[in-house]
């Protein structure tokens, strides 16, 4: 499970990247909350040397801040300590969670007054962004962001390789989430609830829709990263098992002598 989690990095089409056998650095669009992400697949090098090199890679992509996704299995083992010593800030802790899909999963108990739609057009995509803006503080979507999102989802509709869903309560967008199937594993991401509708089942409804779609497309496992303080307890009550923890640390590459 942890190996599958460590391989999980979203790379948008045409996104600038620096990739080696040891790491991947992705530069996301400026509207994305984490504008550059580093994932270390494994290295035997000195941690300080690796941090310097990855920092320079981020700068070469025009990014002066970098979000590092790390776990207890990240190698070299001293990487996280090196980042902390340089002033890295912990921004997120998530549990690595998985649920088998080969047999029917536990009843998610979706309330009758919650409906779910798959995102197929601009209006439903904008409804997703309404929820995300409230839940995560994300930026208002740009025209390019809408166009890119619809293009990605159009490809996913062919084979259910990727999809997004939005839940409604009393006609208002209340919950959202996405998923993509890679090698039989459904990677569940972006699950969130509008603060106006918390506790009404919107999160569970979107989860049920994603799992059902993924299982129909041949996925045998659901994999996700649940925030330790919020979504992880919900997911574990619904049958997901915890396999470890991931942490996200933010560094200011321009301020660490990496230019």
Taking only the tens place, the pLDDT of each residue in 11-59 is: 877 889 999 999 999 998 877 888 899 999 999 999 999 999 999 999 9
CATH number reported for the structural domain that contains residue 148 in this entry: 3.40.630.30
* Neighbouring-strand partners of residue 191: none
Q: Is position 227 within any domain?
A: no
Give mean pLDDT, residues 133-159. 81
Q: Is position 89 within any domain?
A: yes
Indicate whether 116 and 202 sit together in one domain.
yes
Give mean pLDDT, residues 193-203. 96
CATH number reported for the structural domain that contains residue 16 in this entry: 3.40.630
Band of pLDDT at residue 164, cut at 50, 70 and 90: very high
Indicate whether 88 and 123 sit together in one domain.
no
Tell me: cis bond preceding 76? Omega within 30 of 0 counts. yes
- pLDDT higher than 90, residue 126: yes
Indicate whether 121 and 206 sit together in one domain.
yes
Beta strands 65-71 and 36-40: pairing type? parallel
**% residues pLDDT > 70 (the chain):** 97
- The pLDDT score that the predictor gives to residue 254 is 59
Q: Is position 236 within any domain?
A: no
Indicate whether 114 and 189 sit together in one domain.
yes
Indicate whether 110 and 46 sit together in one domain.
no
Band of pLDDT at residue 258, cut at 50, 70 and 90: very low
Q: Which helix (H) or strand (E) holds 150?
A: helix 143-159
CB 44 within 8 A of CB 75: yes
Indicate whether 130 and 185 sit together in one domain.
yes
What is the count of structural domains for the chain? 2
* Neighbouring-strand partners of residue 116: 167
Q: Is position 225 within any domain?
A: no
- The pLDDT score that the predictor gives to residue 86 is 93
Distance of CA 97 to the CA centre of its chain: 13
- pLDDT higher than 60, residue 99: yes
Q: Is position 233 within any domain?
A: no
Q: Is position 182 within any domain?
A: yes
Q: Is position 234 within any domain?
A: no
Q: Is position 123 within any domain?
A: yes
Q: At what angle do helices 143-159 and 122-136 cross, to 10 degrees?
A: 110
The per-residue pLDDT of the chain, averaged, comes to 90
Dihedral-angle region of residue 184 (phi above 0 means left; psi in -120 to 50 means alpha; beta otherwise):
left
Indicate whether 85 and 175 sit together in one domain.
no
Indicate whether 152 and 85 sit together in one domain.
no
Report pTM. Answer: 0.86
Indicate whether 115 and 83 sit together in one domain.
no
Domain that holds residue 211: 103-219
Distance in angstroms (rounded) separating the CA atoms of residues 153 and 69: 25
Q: What are the residues whose beta carbons fall under 8 Å from the beta carbon of 133, sequence distance 6 or more?
A: 139, 140
Give mean pLDDT, residues 81-102. 94
């Amino acid at each position: 499970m942890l190996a599958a989690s460590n391989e999980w990095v979203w790379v948008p089409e045409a996104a600038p990247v620096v990739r080696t056998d040891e790491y991947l650095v992705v530069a996301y669009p400026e509207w994305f909350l984490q504008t550059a992400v580093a994932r270390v697949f494994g290295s035997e090098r000195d941690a300080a040397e690796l941090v310097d090199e990855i920092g320079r890679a981020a700068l070469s992509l025009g990014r002066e801040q970098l979000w590092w996704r790390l776990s207890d299995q990240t190698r070299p083992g001293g990487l996280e300590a090196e980042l902390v010593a340089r002033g890295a800030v912990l921004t997120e802790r998530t549990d690595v969670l998985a649920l088998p899909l080969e047999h029917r999963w536990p009843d998610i108990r979706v309330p009758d007054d919650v409906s779910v739609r798959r995102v197929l057009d601009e209006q439903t995509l904008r409804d997703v962004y309404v929820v995300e803006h409230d839940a995560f503080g994300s930026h208002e979507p740009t025209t390019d962001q809408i166009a890119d999102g619809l293009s990605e989802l159009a490809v996913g509709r062919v084979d259910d390789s990727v999809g997004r869903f939005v839940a409604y309560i009393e006609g208002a967008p209340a919950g959202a989430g996405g998923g993509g199937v890679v090698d039989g594993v459904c990677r569940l991401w972006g699950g969130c609830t509008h603060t106006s509708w918390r506790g009404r089942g919107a999160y569970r409804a979107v989860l049920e829709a994603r799992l059902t779609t993924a299982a129909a497309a041949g996925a045998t496992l659901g994999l996700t990263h649940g925030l330790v303080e919020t979504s992880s307890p919900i997911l574990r009550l619904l049958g997901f098992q915890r396999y470890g923890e991931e942490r996200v640390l933010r560094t200011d590459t321009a301020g660490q002598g990496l230019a």
